[in-house]
Amino acid sequence: MSAFRPRRGQQLLRPHAALLLGEWFTAQRLLMLLLTLFVAVAIVYPLYQVLWRSLIVDGSWSLGNYVAVFLRPANYVALWNTLWVSVIATGLSVVIGTLAAFVVQRTDVPHKGLLSVLLVLPFAIPPLFSAIGWVQLAGPVGLFTQWWRELFGAAPPWNIYSPGGIIFVLAVTNYPFVFITVSGALARMDSSLEEAARTSGVGPARIMRDITLPLVRPAILGGALLAFVSSIDNFGIPAVLGMRAQFYVLTTRIYEALTIPNMPLATAMSVLLVLVAIVCLVAFRRLEGSRGQYAVIAGKSVTPNVIRLGRARPWVLLGLYLSLVVIVLMPVFALVLTSLLRFWGADLSLDNVTLRHYTAVLNQSGARRGIVNSLILAPAAATLIVLVASMIAYLNVKARQRGAGLLDGIATVPFALPGSVIGVAMILAWSNPAFGPTLYGTLWILLAGYVMRYMAFGLQSTRNTLQQIHDSLEEAAWTSGAGRFRAIRDITLPLLRPGMLAGWVLIFISAFNELTVSVLIWTTGAETIGVWIFLMQDSGFTGRAAALAVLTLPVILLLYLLTQWLTKLEARRRERAAGTSRS
């Protein structure tokens, strides 16, 4: 503990300081013990249940559950569908995200701030909403379908209820992962190699192909990994667009197995889905190669080269805005329009505009209960996660408590797990637990699922913030006679607060309309907004599903904009601090 060693010329600890130090060590060990118990109960125990139950048949060890999985051709088909659909959707996400990042970061296109916000907006819209929006646009009686028939007098060449529809919606939903990672790499990359090639007479297209893209390859692969994991984890899009066409992936097969119910089959398929995620993670890491191979991102301030678009500038800008209108704004517009029409597919006239879907949703006791439950669960999960994550991150980063790093790593594991696996883990762990109360059938099991699913979000935001707080600040407070608790309260906590708030907002947005976990473990009386929207859409009440989605969108978008504002505010604060230190 270097923070507590007296420096040269300092006196030894005074008796009261030594007493405070002893109290801190005692509290630190106690806190570490409590956090270890929390992680063991909330994360390790449910995951152990999934693995153990998948290997037990009639009370004895057996691979019978896995044999049952592989003996059913439908499961082979679902596994294959999961892989090829996710791979193609990820490839499209990489193309869209990389091109958009290059245009925004490396060209003189105007409105870069607005474009950056709009390009990452799909990240704030739940995938279920996107799927429903695209059904309203390109479904059998969707807006695009009607326009096509009026223009050409024939059926459109697309079918939204198909693998192609799933791939397209997954791609336009997940490309922000690639855009965010590649934009960050392009903004920080030293452009000297590009400048050398340009002065040698090499054209922009060849520079991008031979220099820029290879140098940002790790960022592209990192974004692709996130997009791929999100694709294999997604339930809402394959459920809305695939189940009607009898096209199943692993997440929808697990959901179907639980509705039978066939828990052993669902458990074995969950482990299979985890193995798919792990194999793909290893494959992506191998593709990245060694880290030093691409070490051209400078630690100093760099000014990226900007390509002058010339006469193509207005056309590129127009293409970007048209793409954003179609990909981002039109699905939201379709949701709003569908929620206002008397019935799905009605003519666009004032006579067909009505608020009865909103009235029906607000008068339906189950939907109101779902809204209330989500308003309880989302802030509760966000608050609990941020508090626990802040303590784990502090013990790991600042206190350097032995074992805290391992605790951090274990708590981050669920981030790499598909949500359906976490849902199955919750059922196995808390429907008839070996210890503690039975949570299945209550809101508490949903809270436990959210805590497990989003713990990594809280750890990431608090850990990153703590790493930016220099140890000398606490050391100065301690050597001035302040106890460790007071130093944390008066120095560390105020500096950590922006990271905690950003993590809280991110978790709230994610949990508010969560579906993949909730749809597996909800029961009557414990529904959420995401579950009710899915049930209404699946039951044919399209207008009501759209109305409930529209009612929740303002909350999500406002919190998303708050997160963007906090991020920019923190960036300006760091720039001012850096400028002050240089002067």
Q: Does residue 396 register a pLDDT over 90?
A: no
Residue 350 lies in a domain: no
Do residue 51 and residue 136 come from a single domain? no
Mean pLDDT to the nearest integer, 542-562: 83
Do residue 36 and residue 68 come from a single domain? no
pLDDT of residue 472: 64
Do residue 547 and residue 405 come from a single domain? yes
pLDDT of residue 379: 92
Residue 331 lies in a domain: yes
Do residue 115 and residue 46 come from a single domain? no
- Residues spanned by the domain of 34: 14-58+357-575
CATH number of the domain residue 80 falls in: 1.10.3720.10
pLDDT of residue 13: 46
Do residue 248 and residue 331 come from a single domain? yes
The last residue of a domain, from among 276, 308, 338: 338
Q: Would you place residue 373 in the very low, low, confident or very high pLDDT band (cuts 50, 70, 90)?
A: very high
Do residue 170 and residue 23 come from a single domain? no
pLDDT digits (tens, 9 = 90+) for 93-140: 999 998 888 888 878 888 887 888 888 888 778 888 888 889 888 888
Do residue 268 and residue 395 come from a single domain? no
How many helices (DSSP H) and strands (DSSP E) are in the chain?
28, 2
Do residue 233 and residue 166 come from a single domain? yes
Residue 483 phi, psi (nearest 5): -75, 165
Q: Which amino acid is at 255?
A: Y
pLDDT of residue 473: 63
pLDDT of residue 576: 64
The last residue of a domain, from among 338, 365, 396: 338
Do residue 312 and residue 378 come from a single domain? no
Do residue 539 and residue 566 come from a single domain? yes
Q: Would you place residue 476 in the very low, low, confident or very high pLDDT band (cuts 50, 70, 90)?
A: low
Residue 56 phi, psi (nearest 5): -110, 125
Residue 6 lies in a domain: no
Pairing type for strands 56-57 and 60-61 reads: antiparallel
CA distance 275 to 280: 8
DSSP 312: G
Do residue 391 and residue 425 come from a single domain? yes
Domain count, the chain: 2
Residue 205 lies in a domain: yes
Residue 1 lies in a domain: no
Is residue 304 reached through a cis peptide bond, with omega within 30 degrees of 0 on the bond before it? no
Do residue 506 and residue 413 come from a single domain? yes
pLDDT digits (tens, 9 = 90+) for 270-294: 888 888 877 776 776 666 554 444 4
CA distance 231 to 395: 34
